[in-house]
A and B are shown apart, each in its own frame.
Chain A
Amino acid sequence: MKQYEVTFIVDPVLSADEIKSTAKNYTDLVVHESGKVVHVDEIGLRQLAYGINKRNTGIYYSIEFQSEAGALIPKMELAMKRDERILRFLTVHLDKYGVKYNDDKRNGKIGKRSKDKKKENAEE
């Protein structure tokens, strides 16, 4: 089962539940397309490094999911392209180190960046 991660930015002007429903919409799409959602991570409101269509802040979401056939990806990307609530999205295939990194991050093994190296060091 290949593991993928899609990170996208939702328009901050929308209401809170609108934003939640956007994220929910894509997790449902993954489940509907026989993919398995591993984790939905709401990174939250962040300042953008540069303006994206007249917005300087955005709400970041990152969905990690598994799916054998890649058929899920083009469908989802097409839906995201059409959705105006999403400013930008990026789908990435995770290799085994990426998967391990994300799991460690969730279990709190990888702390702040400075601790990141020491923790990594202690772990290896």
Chain B
Amino acid sequence: MASQEEIKFLSNPALGQQRKKYCRFRKFGIKHIDYKDPDFLIQFVNEQGKLLPRRITGNSLKYQRRVATAVKRARHLAMLPFSTDLLK
């Protein structure tokens, strides 16, 4: 039988595997999300200005809620649009 090393794969076996998602707030120890800083909040908003779900951003529940309140406050202060077509 061919030993382990000799087996050649047509394509990289780990191709489809998903990178392990992590909550960046817990990993980098960010405790406060500033609602006045739209460049940071834009990462959590899609092209139409809508909030991205947790399964996409990978945030933990606690920080996803804080991001949501920060984005809503930024929208109130016209730093982020309520809805637009090409945001990024």
Task: Give me the interface of A with B, judged by CB distance under 8 Å.
Answer: 7, 9, 43, 46, 48-50, 52, 58, 60, 62, 88, 90, 92, 95, 97-98, 100-101, 105, 113, 116-117, 120-121, 123-124
Q: How far is the CA of A48 from the CA of B79 in the complex (A)?
A: 6
In the complex, 12 of the A-B residue pairs with CB atoms within 8 angstroms, ordered by the A residue number, are: A46-B79, A49-B75, A49-B84, A58-B78, A60-B77, A88-B76, A90-B73, A92-B35, A97-B32, A101-B32, A116-B30, A117-B24
CB distance from A11 to the nearest CB of B (A): 13
Please tell me if B40 contacts chain A, counting CB pairs below 8 Å.
Answer: yes
The interface on chain B, measured as residues whose beta carbon lies within 8 A of the other chain's beta carbons, has a size of 22
Given contacts A43-B36, A50-B78, A90-B77, contact A100 B31 (CB under 8 A): yes
Contact: B29 with A120, CB < 8 Å?
A: yes
